[in-house]
Amino acid sequence: MEAIGGGRRGTRIVGLFLVLVMVIMAAVKTASGHGVAGDEGGDHDHERFLKLWADGGGDARGEGYLNWDDDDDEEGGHDEEAADRVMSWAASCRPPTGRNVVNVDSFGAAGDGSVDDTEAFLDAWKKACSLNDAVFLVPGGRRYKVGAIKFMGPCKNRMVIQIQGTIVAPEEPSEWDPTSPRLWLLFSGLAGARIQGGGVIDGSGSKWWANSCKIDHSMQCKGAPTAMTIDSCRGVRVRNLRLQNAQQMHLTVSRSRDVRLAGVRVEAPEDSPNTDGIHVADSSAVTIQGCRIGTGDDCISISNGSFAVRMKDIECGPGHGISIGSLGQGGSYAAVEGVALDGARISRAQNGVRIKTWQGGAGYVRNVRFANVLVDDVDHPIVIDQFYCDARSPCHNQTSNVRVSNVMFRNITGTARQPEAIRLACSDAVPCSDIVLSDINLLREDGAEVQTICNCAKGFDNGRVRPAADCLRTSPCGGMSPADEAMDKEAAPPVRHTEL
């Protein structure tokens, strides 16, 4: 992806990011104390661990960033009102006071779905970006065809990007802008902008999917554009938007801080390849709330360099579930810390909640809590998979991996499609530690019992846990049966992944 422009602002963002990381690390250190995060000795302080995770993520000294009580924000405040005025203006045709509305139509956009409006959008953006209190307006009731666009900041203050109509991508991959192979709509270097309006962002992805090496095995594996990318931003709010049929991923938040996504809908066919709904990478303090996502890949994926990611009230399915990872591909170092999911309904999906890492990687995933999840017709509702291998050739076991610790699954209930409802497959070389299952109730649709399988997963069960998870306490290693492996192969066909 493109690097952010602006020297001084860039330095400031990096500075703020570093401070935040340091604060989080300090908080985690305080909260961990002794014996909680430790892998050795078997003297886990269960009580302390449970307390740490019991009430919204920690005590006052602890991991407050997993709490939901600090939902301050300007929501309901000044900016919000201004945004609402823009909405009502759209309905009444009267411009909102104190707002500089920049309508793409005034810059020559045709909005007929066939003429290329890229230039008009860029001209309008340049204007909007130069004004305080600007509204970059994409009017409703029309279809704007635009190619790859970089909406670059920094802009003046209080920018609103009001998308009411439909923005649609050109269909033909062969005609795609070669200078932007992985990006369609990029928002970069913005501070405090709002992206909203109830409109639609449509990637016209079907020809890209047909060219994917996952669909057509004769094709070379290469990435396709992400429909919308928020990169190197801070304080950005996205709400009330619909993304559909992306060429590859739908909405990526990368190298950003303090981003909130609410009321985002994502829709793509179940068999569309790598069409993750929301992807978070290299970002901290990200909140995803009240989103409904159904695609051909992960509803939400959280990858390397992400800290303090909160998800609440998520509807997911079809798709591959809500995932942390994949991490550690090609021997890389990865770090993810402080992820909380509170409230989700996951239906007709391959997985419910999952952590996936590759053999040979390094780094860690820790302090994760998946809570209050209803699953309905999900193959494997609870998964830790340290043998993740989305490659054409089989992956071999190695002596390193991304370390997984302090992961709690709490109040997860519903129906599983596969007998192995809970798969805690940790590597022999780097076992998982402090894995907690609490108040779990999973069954087959027909009421048949399901199972928990463990490999080198250390931790404990708490409260009522069905299927039983005694194996967490005995943590057998090296024990996946050949039958499990066969099942693995079935679940993950040997194709090469094109993902980040």
Ligand X SMILES: *[C@@H]1O[C@H](CO)[C@@H](O)[C@H](O)[C@H]1NC(C)=O
Q: Which of 180, 332, 400, 462 binds ligand X (CB under 6 A)?
A: 332
What's the token pair of residue 294? 């159904």
**Of 67 and 372, which CB lies nearer to ligand X in the complex structure?**
372
Does residue 478 touch ligand X according to CB under 6 A?
yes
What's the token pair of residue 455? 């490999």
Contact stretch for ligand X (CB under 6 A) within 84-92, 199-207, 252-260, 477-485: 477-485
E strand spans, 121-217: 134-138, 143-145, 149-152, 160-163, 166-168, 183-188, 194-196, 200-202
Q: Residue 34 Cβ, how far from ligand X at the closest point, in Å?
A: 25
Q: Residue 91 Cβ, how far from ligand X at the closest point, in Å?
A: 35
Q: Residue 309 Cβ, how far from ligand X at the closest point, in Å?
A: 13
Catalytic residue among 250, 320, 380, 497: 320
Does residue 304 touch ligand X according to CB under 6 A?
yes
DSSP codes of every residue in 63-131: -GGG-STT--SSTTSHHHHHHHHHHHHHHHT-PPTT-EEEEGGGGT---EEEEE-HHHHHHHHHHHHTS
Q: Which of 11, 114, 397, 399 binds ligand X (CB under 6 A)?
A: 397
**Of 148 and 280, which CB lies nearer to ligand X in the complex structure?**
280
Contact stretch for ligand X (CB under 6 A) within 12-20, 271-279, 349-357, 478-486: 478-486
Q: Which of 68, 221, 333, 418 binds ligand X (CB under 6 A)?
A: 333
CB-closest chain residue to ligand X: 480
Q: Of 313, 407, 286, 418, which is closest to residue 357 (Cα–Cα)?
A: 407
Q: Residue 86 Cβ, how far from ligand X at the closest point, in Å?
A: 34
Separation in Å, CA 105 to CA 122, 125, 226: 12, 12, 25
**Of 139 and 363, which CB lies nearer to ligand X in the complex structure?**
363
Q: Residue 484 Cβ, how far from ligand X at the closest point, in Å?
A: 7
Task: Report the distance separating Cα 152 and Cα 483, nearest Å.
Answer: 52
Does residue 440 touch ligand X according to CB under 6 A?
no
Q: Residue 61 Cβ, how far from ligand X at the closest point, in Å?
A: 24
User: CB–CB of 225/148 below 8 Å?
Assistant: yes
Contact stretch for ligand X (CB under 6 A) within 50-58, 95-103, 256-264, 326-334: 326-334
Fill in the DSSP letter of residue 337.
E
Residue 123: what are its φ and ψ, rounded to 5°? -65, -45
Does residue 398 touch ligand X according to CB under 6 A?
no
Task: Say how many C-beta atoms besides its own lie within 10 A of residue 107's C-beta.
Answer: 18
Task: Say how many C-beta atoms besides its own lie within 10 A of residue 437's C-beta.
Answer: 26
**Of 24 and 185, which CB lies nearer to ligand X in the complex structure?**
24
Does residue 480 touch ligand X according to CB under 6 A?
yes
Strand partners, 355: 324, 384
Q: Which of 428, 429, 444, 462 binds ligand X (CB under 6 A)?
A: 428
Separation in Å, CA 40 to CA 34, 43, 231, 340, 384: 11, 8, 39, 25, 20
User: CB–CB of 363/335 below 8 Å?
Assistant: yes
Contact stretch for ligand X (CB under 6 A) within 22-30, 61-69, 330-338, 491-499: 330-338
For the question of residue 320 being annotated catalytic, the response is yes
E strand spans, 77-165: 100-103, 112-116, 134-138, 143-145, 149-152, 160-163
Does residue 374 touch ligand X according to CB under 6 A?
yes
Q: Residue 305 Cβ, how far from ligand X at the closest point, in Å?
A: 4
Does residue 199 touch ligand X according to CB under 6 A?
no
Q: Which of 118, 206, 372, 462 binds ligand X (CB under 6 A)?
A: 372
What's the token pair of residue 148? 């790859």
User: CB–CB of 339/368 below 8 Å?
Assistant: yes
Task: Report the distance separating Cα 438 and Cα 57, nearest Å.
Answer: 15
Does residue 56 touch ligand X according to CB under 6 A?
no
Task: Report the distance separating Cα 428 and Cα 424, nearest Å.
Answer: 12
**Of 261 and 334, which CB lies nearer to ligand X in the complex structure?**
334
How many residues at the interface with ligand X, by CB under 6 A? 17
Does residue 396 touch ligand X according to CB under 6 A?
yes
Amino acid at 221: C
Amino acid at 218: S
Q: Of 175, 189, 173, which is closest to residue 225 (Cα–Cα)?
A: 173
**Of 153 and 361, which CB lies nearer to ligand X in the complex structure?**
361
List, by residue number, the catalytic residues: 320
Residues in the site for ligand X, rule: CB under 6 A? Answer: 304-305, 332-335, 343, 372, 374, 396-397, 411, 428, 455, 478, 480, 485
